[in-house]
């Protein structure tokens, strides 16, 4: 039998095992989806609270389409939450193509609806709330709460819409750190806020924007670089199959030897995003709790499943 036939047979058997794993995990899928949507609700409510308590009362516009809605509200009086959702509609299309298709769209639309409804509800039933007049404190705590909220949405495979979609596209397609991506995507909105509300408020808004971007990364478990995992396990096939099925990432197996014991070892190597590290550790714990795992930072990952070599040149 030729090497090509061997490879084809190996691929067929691997695909069969992966499909079987996906079928077997369906009974637990509803629970995972419910948990994700609970996190989406929590993140959306936190984001609405951040806007209502820290940004809107003090005319701090920390970018995004919600910030754009603030600017429009200043001239028209239209509800900010409703405006934010309407402005999001074109970006939902971009998210469909670049960030995960139907699952992304459903979760992001749901998050945007919850955010818009909660924000407009608080503006109507709980108006004129001011915790402090200190602009620095409002910028800092607004950035912290908004950053944690957006990070929670990202962990649930969603976004709040708006420039979160653009920032996530920059992060995935070009490896741009989220804190920097937010500065790019929201800079125009902050500039317009400076023209509308004054440059001092715009400068405070930049602080909130940067703090929020950093907190998104912290919520997602560290700075925004790719992760490379080396897994030393006695169950290489089972671990690899779960990674292929659950994370849809490629895995390479190495042969190794423990230099102290002389025992033959199997080493799996895979590159994943920082968001996937939580799922990877759950997989390894389920399949082989005794495995030895090293997860390191990779500044850039090029090749199939990531950016192409041509893009990285």
Answer yes or no: are the C-beta atoms of 172 and 157 closer than 8 Å: no
Identify the architecture of domain 225-312 in CATH: 2-Layer Sandwich (3.30)
Residues above pLDDT 90, as percent of the chain: 27
Pairwise pLDDT comparison (279 vs 229), residue with the higher score: 229
Give the whole-angstrom CA distance, residue 75 versus residue 68: 11
Range list of H helices, 77-198: 80-98, 101-125, 135-155, 163-174, 178-197
**Each residue of 94-135: pLDDT tens digit?**
777 776 667 777 888 899 999 999 999 999 998 888 888 899
How much is the pLDDT for 26?
62
How much is the pLDDT for 113?
94
Pairwise pLDDT comparison (147 vs 154), residue with the higher score: 147
Pairwise pLDDT comparison (265 vs 231), residue with the higher score: 231
Mean of all residue pLDDT scores within the chain: 82
Pairwise pLDDT comparison (179 vs 106), residue with the higher score: 106
Q: What is the pTM of this model?
A: 0.65
**Each residue of 37-77: pLDDT tens digit?**
999 999 999 999 999 999 999 999 877 888 889 999 989 98
Single out the residue of 134, 92, 132, 135 nearest to residue 110, CA to CA.
Answer: 92
**Each residue of 254-311: pLDDT tens digit?**
888 888 777 888 899 999 877 688 889 989 999 999 999 999 877 667 776 666 655 5
> Residue 312 — pLDDT band, cuts 50, 70, 90?
very low
> Residue 5 — pLDDT band, cuts 50, 70, 90?
low
Answer yes or no: are the C-beta atoms of 42 and 152 closer than 8 Å: yes
Instruction: Break the chain into its structural domains and give their ranges.
Output: 27-219, 225-312
How much is the pLDDT for 209?
81
* CA–CA distances in Å: residue 277 to residues 229, 266, 273: 9, 20, 7
Answer yes or no: are the C-beta atoms of 143 and 61 closer than 8 Å: no
């Amino acid at each position: 039998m030729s090497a090509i036939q061997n490879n084809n047979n190996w691929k067929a058997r691997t695909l069969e095992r992966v499909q079987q794993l996906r079928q077997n995990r369906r009974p637990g899928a509803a629970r995972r989806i419910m948990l994700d949507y609970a996190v989406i609700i929590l993140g959306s409510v936190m984001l609405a609270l951040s806007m209502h308590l820290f940004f809107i009362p003090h005319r701090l516009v920390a970018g995004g389409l919600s910030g754009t809605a603030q600017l429009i509200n200043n001239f028209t009086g239209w509800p900010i939450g409703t405006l934010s959702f309407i402005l999001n509609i074109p970006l939902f299309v971009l998210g469909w193509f670049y960030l995960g298709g139907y699952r992304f769209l459903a979760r992001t639309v749901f998050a945007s609806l919850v955010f818009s409804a909660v924000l407009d509800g608080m503006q109507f039933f709980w108006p004129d709330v001011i915790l402090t007049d200190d602009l620095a404190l409002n910028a800092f705590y607004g950035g912290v709460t908004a950053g944690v909220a957006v990070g929670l949405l990202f962990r649930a495979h969603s976004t709040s819409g708006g420039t979160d979609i653009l920032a996530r596209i920059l992060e995935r397609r070009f490896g741009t750190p989220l804190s920097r991506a937010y500065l790019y995507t929201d800079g125009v909105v902050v500039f317009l806020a400076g023209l509308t509300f004054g440059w001092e408020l715009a400068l405070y808004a930049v602080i909130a924007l940067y703090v929020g971007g950093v907190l998104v990364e912290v919520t997602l478990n560290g700075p925004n670089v790719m992760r490379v995992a080396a897994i030393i396990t006695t169950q290489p096939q089972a671990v690899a199959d779960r990674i292929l099925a659950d994370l849809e990432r490629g895995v390479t197996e190495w042969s190794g030897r423990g230099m102290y014991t002389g025992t033959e070892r199997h080493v799996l190597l895979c590159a994943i995003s920082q968001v996937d590290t939580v799922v990877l550790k759950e997989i390894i714990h389920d399949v082989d709790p005794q495995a030895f795992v090293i997860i390191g930072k990779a500044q850039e990952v090029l090749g199939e499943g990531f950016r192409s070599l041509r893009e990285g040149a």
